[in-house]
Structure 1
């Protein structure tokens, strides 16, 4: 019975680790795209003929995609923007309440952004980007994935904090908030 419970608990952890690995892999790929596109831009400034205009557009799109795609991972690893002033409050109950509220607000806002991305995908199909000629509906796919991931991870983080408080986590994929406790070495 205990091994079944351990296996059942490890399934969500394995799924979270797999989703995180995919998101980080895509983020790494997009970072490489930005690097190569900007490098090409810098190199072609020294050429006697007109360069490739799409490199600047691709690097800008990749930066937008990278930003929104990595947001969910940052929420899970507590690497997103936080109000650390709240963490210094004496009342753990108040700190817990603020953290739950913050995670719920992030979840709602990310959900609304995901909804907007979802509505922009079909309505932007007639538009294309100037240099790449890419359908602008494709431009909203990766931000949609990132916003859905952020909303789900924020809702899960709010649930964890509401149930267990604001613990200092040891795992890299766990909610890692250190509140009202000294870090033990």
Structure 2
């Protein structure tokens, strides 16, 4: 589609991140926390295997914490992926419709993503509050710790969707202003 929708490799800053320290910090925090959740999940599973098969005395809490860590990894990663525009998409229909059709389909898609992620962020937060009295069986952590991951993840998807859309619209306006020339007449 447009140059604004071109994705960059995960280890490079995209145009929005280069232009905003706040966005750069948010994406960096998501990346760091996702990495931490990945390392925690791996370490907990490894600890579970060692305690079960080497010491023949499995720890009851490692499997539960590994699961919780994996949930956080998935939702934090979803926010990071949305920031980088790396979500999986089937674009056969959009590409077949030409440039204008592709813009319309992509516009509808982002509106749907914003509505769904906004609704699920609010619902996830409400559910996390309701689940705060429920304790996990092995760790006795409040289940709101786990269910809060969905609220955070969908909120990040919503925030990045809004930021990316606003940035894309600003870039499109900038391109159309430049194309119109100094007197506002298209060349």
> Shared fold (TM-score greater than 0.5)?
yes
* Residue number among 96, 115, 121 corresponding to 1:114 in the alignment: 121
Q: Does 1:124 align with 2:136?
A: no
Question: Quick one: distance in 1 between partners of 2:171 and 2:81?
Answer: 20
More helix by share: 2
* Alpha-carbon displacement from aligned partner over 1:55-99 (angstroms, at most 9, x marks no partner): 111111111111111212211211112123145235211111111
Q: Does 1:26 align with 2:33?
A: yes
Question: Quick one: distance in 2 between partners of 1:107 and 1:91?
Answer: 24
Q: In terms of mean alpha carbon deviation, does 18-27 or 86-95 score higher?
A: 86-95
* Residue number among 22, 30, 53 corresponding to 1:15 in the alignment: 22
How many corresponding residue pairs?
Answer: 157
Q: In terms of mean alpha carbon deviation, does 75-84 or 59-68 score higher?
A: 75-84
- 1:101 maps to 108
Q: Does 1:75 align with 2:114?
A: no
Equivalences for 1:1-185 in 2 at 5 Å?
13-89=20-96, 91-161=98-168, 164=171
Q: Which runs of 5+ in 1 are unaligned?
A: 1-8, 166-185
Q: CA RMSD in A?
A: 2.2
Counterpart contact for 1:100–1:162, Cα < 8 Å: no
Give the SS at the match of 2:29: helix
Q: In terms of mean alpha carbon deviation, does 47-56 or 104-113 score higher?
A: 47-56
Question: Quick one: distance in 2 between partners of 1:11 and 1:161?
Answer: 14
- TM-score (normalizing by structure 1): 0.76
Deviation at 1:113, TM superposition (A): 1.2
Deviation at 1:37, TM superposition (A): 0.6
- TM-score (normalizing by structure 2): 0.75
- 2:180 maps to none
- Greater relative contact order (CA < 8 Å, ≥ 6 in sequence): 1
Question: Quick one: distance in 2 between partners of 1:31 and 1:78?
Answer: 21
* Alpha-carbon displacement from aligned partner over 1:94-146 (angstroms, at most 9, x marks no partner): 11111111111111111111111111122112101111110012222333222
